Amino acid sequence: MSETSMQTGLAQRLHSIRKRHGLTQRELADLSGVSKSLISKIEQGVVTEPQMATVHKVARALRMNTSTLLNGAPQTEEEEPPIDTGVWEPVERALHGKMPAPQEAPSLPEVRAQIDGLKPLLAANRYGEVAALLPTLIRDVDALGGEGRAVRSRLFNITGWLCVQLRRWERAEAPIRLAIDAAEDRLDAAASAATLAWMYLRMGRLTEARELATRWADDIEPRFSRASAAELAMWGRLLISVSSAAVRDNRPGEAEDAIRLARAAAVRIGREVESDSSTHRTFGPVTVAMVVAENAGIIDHYDKVLSIADRIPGNLLNGDSAGRNRHRLDVAMALHATGKPAEAMAVLEDIYRTSPEWLVAQKYARQILAGLLMRRRTLPASTRHLADALRVPY
Phi, psi torsion values for 273, nearest 5 degrees: -135, 160
Region 73-82: mean pLDDT is 43
Per the prediction, the chain carries an average pLDDT of 89
Residue 3 has a pLDDT of: 39
DSSP-based three-state secondary structure for 133: helix
Task: Write out the H or E segment, with its range, that includes residue 245.
Answer: helix 229-248
Q: What is the C-alpha R_g of the chain?
A: 22
Residue 315 has a pLDDT of: 73
Residue 218 has a pLDDT of: 97
Residue 86 pLDDT > 80, yes or no?
no
Residue 77 pLDDT > 50, yes or no?
no
Residue 237 has a pLDDT of: 97
Homologous superfamily of 3-70: lambda repressor-like DNA-binding domains (1.10.260.40)
Residue 79 pLDDT > 60, yes or no?
no
Region 346-351: mean pLDDT is 96
Residue 18: pLDDT band by 50, 70, 90 thresholds?
confident
Phi, psi torsion values for 283, nearest 5 degrees: -150, 140
Cβ neighbourhood burial of 43 (10 Å; 0-12, 13-18, 19+): buried
Q: What are the structural domain ranges in the chain? A: 3-70, 81-184, 325-394
Between 3 and 53, name the one with better pLDDT: 53
Residue 73 pLDDT > 60, yes or no?
no
For the stretch 218-273, pLDDT in tens is 999 999 889 999 999 999 999 999 999 999 999 999 999 999 999 999 999 999 99
- CA nearest to 41, candidates 74, 7, 75: 7
Between 112 and 374, name the one with better pLDDT: 112
Residue 63 pLDDT > 90, yes or no?
no
Phi, psi torsion values for 282, nearest 5 degrees: -120, 165
DSSP state of 148: G
Residue 75 pLDDT > 70, yes or no?
no
CB 294 within 8 A of CB 327: yes
Angle at Cα 23 formed by Cα 20 and Cα 28, nearest 5°?
120
Q: Specify the range with the lowest mean pLDDT, choosing from 92-96, 173-177, 210-214, 216-220.
A: 92-96
Residue 98 has a pLDDT of: 84
**Helices 302-311 and 285-298: angle between axes, nearest 10 degrees:** 160
Residue 8: pLDDT band by 50, 70, 90 thresholds?
low
Residue 268 has a pLDDT of: 96
Phi, psi torsion values for 165, nearest 5 degrees: -60, -35
CB 156 within 8 A of CB 179: yes
CB 255 within 8 A of CB 206: no
For the stretch 282-319, pLDDT in tens is 999 999 999 999 999 999 999 999 999 999 987 776 66
Cβ neighbourhood burial of 74 (10 Å; 0-12, 13-18, 19+): middle
CB 363 within 8 A of CB 374: no
DSSP state of 1: -
Q: Are strands 282-283 and 273-274 parallel, antiparallel or unpaired?
A: antiparallel
Task: Write out the H or E segment, with its range, that includes residue 4.
Answer: helix 3-20
Residue 179 has a pLDDT of: 95
Residue 76 has a pLDDT of: 42
CB 23 within 8 A of CB 58: no
Residue 4 pLDDT > 80, yes or no?
no
For the stretch 137-192, pLDDT in tens is 999 999 998 888 999 999 999 999 999 988 888 889 999 999 999 999 999 999 99
- CA nearest to 151, candidates 184, 196, 129: 184
CA atoms within 13 A on the CB side of 208: 14
Residue 22 has a pLDDT of: 82
